[in-house]
Amino acid sequence: MKLLMFYSREFWVKPFEKAAEDAPEAVEEKDFRDAVVMFYHAEAEDEGREDRVIAKWVKNAKWLAGKFDTKTVVLHSFNHLSQSKAPIECAASMKSEVRVRLERTGYAVFETPFGWQNEWKLHVSGESLAKVFKEI
């Protein structure tokens, strides 16, 4: 699992074009303020170690959110962080469990439309910790 995480003063996303035939219909554009935006990429090696990956993913989300005193997390699938790719079912299952665990502990979690090419604007805070890359 690769995570590219940002503390974003503003993140705007709008569905642009359907990339997967079976993707659900996309929602309207959304705008988030003061959020942790997590670009994630599930790798083939993550299959079979989902519990460990999920636990570390949640831990990283909470850690960065705590640094900036926010309870808003946006999950964005970004399959450009590695050559290795997990099956879509594996990635979707892990993402769903991360969402459940974060919401259970008081976080507001949002997802960008899966299976869509998205248009987005990202305003990242200037602090060094506002930009973090993690390999799990």
- Report the predicted TM-score, pTM, of the whole model to 2 decimal places: 0.92
For 25-60, the pLDDT digits (tens) are: 867 899 999 999 999 999 999 999 999 999 999 999
73 pLDDT higher than 80: yes
Lowest-confidence region among 9-23, 55-69, 118-132: 9-23
Domains of the chain: 2-21+50-127+131-135 (3.50.80.10)
CA dist 58 and 38 (Å) reads 11
The kind and range of the H/E element at 30 are: strand 30-41
pLDDT for 33 equals 97
- Burial (CB count within 10 angstroms: exposed 0-12, middle 13-18, buried 19+), residue 74: buried
Rounded to an integer, the average pLDDT of 63-80 is 94
Rounded to an integer, the average pLDDT of 58-80 is 95
CB 41 within 8 A of CB 27: no
CA dist 61 and 56 (Å) reads 9
20 pLDDT higher than 80: no
